[in-house]
Structures are given as structure tokens and as C-alpha cells.
Amino acid sequence: MRKIPAMKISHISNPRRAAAGLIVLTILACAAVIAAVVFWNRARANDLTLGQTRTELEVARRQASELQAQLNAARNGTGALQEQLENAKASVARLTREVSDAQTATRRLEGELEKQVKGTLVQDPVVKALDVGVDTYKGVVQLNGFVDTPEQKARAEQIAREVAGVSEVQNKLSVKAQTAR
């Protein structure tokens, strides 16, 4: 994300220069709002990690704060820039809530996917699912634990792949050593 350069506004005797300065500040405020919307859309598409999203939110917050300082320096009575700044702050607050909601929904979906895979494994007569652990992250299912035969290991992987929402299966199941009887 590009950093918005700070503008120094001192006593301006030329009204045209003052108006031009306010136009620039308004454009910068709009750019901050657009940047916040763009990175939120990327985050919703899982293009960004949570850490990157938080970093970009912090940058947007700093930009809003810088715009507030510039607005305070201008103090020429126009309300348009103040409105833009308030809109940018509201957008940052809304995006923060939406990121939190998206994180909660993702955790809930991962839990449901894990339960669905485990439930399907338990219902299968070939796999003894009590010794099979299931972990999920972003649609990737990891199977771990112990099974009695290579057939059970292969069957567990096949079952996990067939569950809707699974994008990949990492089969880390171990086959127990067979003891001679």
C-alpha cells in the first residue's frame, strides 16, 4: 500500500491555493477509503493472511489519523474534507468488524468440516476411526494417528477426499506393526 505524503498547510493568503489544497486532501481521503475497500476485498478472497490484513488496517488507521491532522491544520470551514475523513474512519471500523466476523466464520466452517470428515470415517466399516485424528485448515484435511492395515489408511484418505469442501488431504496415518500370533 502506498503511503500518502503529508502536506504542510500554513497560513495561505491565496484562496485558490487553499481550494487546491483542500481538493488534494479530499482526493487523499478518497484514496484511503478506496485502499481500505480494495484490501478488504482481497482479504475476503483469501489472498491475504490475517497478519497482512491487520497490517494494512493499521496503515489505513494511520492514514486516517494523518488526514485528521491535515484537516485540523487547514481549518477553513469546509465540511467536505471532514466528511471524507469521517467516512474513511467509518470504513476502517466497518472493515475491522468484518475481518473479525470473517475469522469467526472461518473457524466455524473449519470445525464443521472436521466434524463431517470424522463422522464419515466413523460410519465406515473398514476404517477404525477411534484412532484416527482429523485436523483442518483452509480446506486442507490432515489425517493422523494409527490404523491396522494399509487398506484402512488408503480408505481413510479416500473418504476424506470425498467430503464436500475438502481441497486437499494430507495422510499422515501410521500402520501399526502386525504381531505374529
Q: Give the full edge-to-edge strand order of the sheet including 140-147.
A: 132-137, 140-147, 168-175
What torsion, rounded to 10 degrees, do the Cα atoms 66, 71, 74, 79 define?
160
pLDDT for the residue 170: 95
Q: Which residues contact 68 (CB under 8 A, 6 or more apart)?
A: 85
> pTM value?
0.45
> Which cell goes with 73?
491544520
pLDDT for the residue 172: 95
pLDDT tens, residue order, the chain (181 aa): 555 555 555 445 566 666 777 777 778 777 777 777 666 666 555 555 566 667 778 888 888 888 877 777 765 555 666 677 788 888 888 888 888 777 777 777 778 888 888 888 888 888 877 788 999 888 899 999 999 889 999 999 999 999 888 899 999 999 988 765 5
Query: Among residues 169, 167, 177, 101, which one has the least CA distance to residue 135?
Result: 169
d(CA 138, CA 133): 17
d(CA 130, CA 79): 66
Query: Among residues 91, 63, 61, 79, which one has the least CA distance to residue 7?
Result: 63
pLDDT for the residue 46: 53
